[in-house]
């Protein structure tokens, strides 16, 4: 305890006071029934609906995200999450009865969900509203008090969120703190009951270390190089459209965006042509048209622009061919939606998650080769398979691991609140969305009630010969 106290002394006073207000309130909030929790969620929903235009303005000011994308990828998922929680919360909160084994005759058992307590939600910049408010909805539904930290890379959205949450919740139930990495580090020194982080693996490890120090729960939503596999049976027109849409949404700054494509050699050129056509239909037939397109996002900051441009340029120097795109403008942080061909597994663009609007395409001859490459790249957050052959689909599902998978589409698994969303291994720990999110922010408490009848006394000491025989006989029931 002394070590924790010393660490907490390094926390800024305002942050520590906000935490202490939450901590003082947590039991009152945890005792609330469904009616009170639903009222808080309804207030949040009403404010989001009323301020959606201001939200679109804020996100556009941060990185020129189109209004339609704000509505589809920021507002709609959160409203869906709210509606789903409002519909099902009473059922989620009910104690769940479980069956009683023969040896526990006379007892009844159930599982009761209880709030974990004081929760920290650290959000990224790429979907700055959705990826803060969606876990917040789950945490509030589960009866927690919550500290939120938005990304400093999207300051306009952070200010919007601060005003929204201030008006939706009392400050001792939901608090928001702004700031850079130093504030993030300070928050990790506080003894939260659960840490929820969305971002990169490097910071994710630090969050997990903090959770271990406090013996707290942790959810890490990370990322990785999410592959697309296109076999010889795939419908190339729909494949091209769906992959191009999912890749260049938010200018590729999406944790589950297709990172690269493996295509069977017999279909490579046809797929490249279909992708080029889809890209031009979506964003413009010429480089000038694409640069002027209002439906295409920008890189969030100069660092992101330089990193992705560097990966693209070094890969072209190493032999990659630009099929479409390739243009850049440093002043506006514009990188054209770009498709690269003749990419090899050792190309620079394959060294790390791209997180930008550059799509490398690699050819393969045998599915064995792709499976080996996917395994070697670690467990991705998402994996996408385009095939009309069920044997191929089943093999990929059986012989690889990923946080989530779509068959003959991309990204959309994230939109179903009945599916858990999360990574595995280096792409994340834990999951959320819908009931999974409620369970993530809850402790499932085991409760057993003993009635008048009990067999337990048969096993009380002293352990006579009769007791030993009964113990052995009971064990044989499970042989």
- The pLDDT score that the predictor gives to residue 3 is 28
CA dist 441 and 196 (Å) reads 9
Token digits for 183? 């504030």
Write out the catalytic residue numbers. 221, 255
Q: Using alpha carbons, select from 393, 297, 308 the residue that is nearest to residue 359.
A: 308
Q: Tokens 């069956």: give the residue.
A: 99
- The pLDDT score that the predictor gives to residue 4 is 32
pLDDT, tens only, 297-343: 999 999 999 999 999 999 999 999 999 999 999 999 999 999 999 99
Report how far apart, in Å, the C-alpha atoms of 264 and of each of 157, 367, 409 are: 42, 8, 17
Q: Using alpha carbons, select from 187, 178, 226 the residue that is nearest to residue 206.
A: 187
CA dist 369 and 362 (Å) reads 11
Residues 6+ apart with CB under 8 A from 32: 143
Q: Using alpha carbons, select from 135, 148, 122 the residue that is nearest to residue 207.
A: 122
Q: Which residues of the chain have pLDDT under 70?
A: 1-9
Domain limits of the chain? 2-222+430-443, 227-419
CA dist 241 and 3 (Å) reads 55
The CATH fold assigned to 2-222+430-443 is Aldehyde Dehydrogenase; Chain A, domain 1 (3.40.605)
Strand partners for 195: 120, 218
Q: Find out whether the peptide bond into 148 is cis, omega within 30 degrees of 0.
A: no
Q: Are 121 and 132 in contact (CB under 8 A)?
A: yes
Q: Are 428 and 218 in contact (CB under 8 A)?
A: no
Token digits for 312? 């693209």
Phi, psi of 407 (to 5 degrees): -115, 120
CA dist 280 and 123 (Å) reads 33
Buried b (16+ CB within 10 A) or exposed e, 42-64: eebbeebeebbeebbbbbbebbb
Q: Tokens 């693996």: give the residue.
A: 201
Superfamily of domain 227-419: Aldehyde Dehydrogenase; Chain A, domain 2 (3.40.309.10)
- The pLDDT score that the predictor gives to residue 51 is 98
In this structure, how many other beta carbons lie within 10 angstroms of the beta carbon of residue 313?
Answer: 15
pLDDT, tens only, 189-239: 999 999 999 999 999 999 999 999 999 999 999 999 999 999 999 999 999
DSSP collapsed to 3 states, the chain = CHHHHHHHCCCCHHHHHHHHHHHHHHHHHHCCCHHHHHHHHHHHHHHHHHCHHHHHHHHHHHHCCCHHHHHHHHHHHHHHHHHHHHHHHHHHHCCEEECCCHHHCCEEEEEEEEECCEEEEECCCCCCCHHHHHHHHHHHHCCCEEEEECCCCCHHHHHHHHHHHHHHCCCCCEEECCCCHHHHHHHHCCCCCEEEEECCHHHHHHHHHHHHHCCCEEEEECCCCCEEEECCCCCHHHHHHHHHHHHHHHHHCCCCCCCEEEEEHHHHHHHHHHHHHHHHHHHCCCHHHHHHCCCCCCCCCHHHHHHHHHHHHHHHHCCCEEEECCCEECCCCEECCEEEECCCCCCHHHCCCCCCCEEEEEEECCHHHHHHHHHHCCCCCEEEEECCCHHHHHHHHHHCCCCEEEECCCCHHHHCCCCCEECCHHHEECEECHHHHHHHCEEEEEEEEECCCCCHHHHCCCCCHHHHHHHHHHHHCCC
Report how far apart, in Å, the C-alpha atoms of 369 and of each of 187, 258, 264, 351 are: 44, 19, 11, 18
């Amino acid at each position: 305890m002394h070590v924790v106290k010393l660490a907490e002394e390094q926390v800024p006073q305002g942050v520590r006071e906000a935490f202490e207000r939450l901590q003082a309130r947590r039991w009152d909030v945890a005792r609330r029934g469904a009616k009170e929790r639903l009222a808080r969620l309804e207030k949040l929903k009403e404010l989001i609906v009323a301020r959606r235009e201001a939200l679109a303005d804020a996100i556009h000011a941060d990185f020129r995200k189109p209004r339609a994308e704000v509505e589809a990828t920021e507002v709609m998922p959160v409203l869906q999450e709210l509606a789903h929680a409002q519909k099902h919360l009473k059922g989620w909160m009910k104690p769940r009865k479980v069956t009683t084994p023969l040896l526990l005759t006379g007892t009844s058992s159930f599982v009761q969900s209880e709030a974990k307590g004081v929760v920290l939600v650290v959000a990224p910049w790429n979907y700055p509203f959705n990826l803060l408010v969606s876990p917040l909805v789950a945490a509030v539904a589960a009866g927690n008090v919550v500290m939120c930290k938005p990304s400093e890379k999207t300051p306009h959205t952070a200010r919007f969120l601060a005003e929204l949450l201030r008006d939706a919740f009392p400050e001792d139930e939901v608090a928001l703190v702004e700031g850079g990495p130093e504030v993030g580090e300070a928050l990790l020194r506080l003894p939260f009951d659960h840490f929820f982080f969305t971002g990169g693996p490097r910071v994710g490890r630090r969050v997990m270390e903090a959770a271990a120090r406090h013996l707290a729960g942790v959810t890490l939503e990370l990322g990785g190089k999410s592959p697309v596999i296109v076999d010889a049976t795939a419908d190339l027109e729909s494949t091209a459209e769906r992959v191009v849409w999912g890749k260049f949404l938010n200018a590729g700054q999406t944790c589950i965006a297709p990172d690269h494509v493996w295509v069977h050699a017999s279909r490579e050129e046809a797929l490249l042509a279909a992708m080029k056509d889809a890209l031009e239909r979506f964003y413009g037939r010429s480089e000038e048209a694409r640069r002027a397109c209002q439906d295409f996002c920008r890189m969030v900051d100069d660092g992101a622009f330089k990193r992705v441009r560097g990966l693209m340029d070094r890969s072209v120097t190493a032999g990659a061919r630009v099929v479409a795109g390739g243009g850049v403008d440093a002043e506006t942080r514009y990188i054209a939606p770009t498709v690269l061909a003749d990419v090899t597994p050792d190309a620079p663009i394959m060294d790390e998650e791209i997180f930008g609007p550059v799509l490398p395409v690699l050819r393969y001859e045998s599915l064995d080769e792709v499976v080996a490459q996917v395994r070697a790249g670690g467990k991705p957050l998402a994996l996408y398979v385009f095939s009309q052959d069920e044997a191929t689909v089943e093999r990929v599902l059986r012989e690889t691991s990923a946080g989530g998978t779509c068959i003959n589409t991309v990204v959309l698994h994230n939109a179903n609140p009945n599916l858990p969303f999360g990574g595995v291994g280096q792409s994340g720990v834990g999951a959320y969305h819908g009931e999974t999110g409620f369970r993530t922010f809850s402790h499932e408490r085991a409760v057993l009630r003993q009635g008048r009848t009990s067999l337990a006394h048969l096993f009380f000491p002293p352990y006579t010969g009769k007791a030993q025989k009964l113990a052995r006989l009971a064990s044989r029931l499970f042989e």
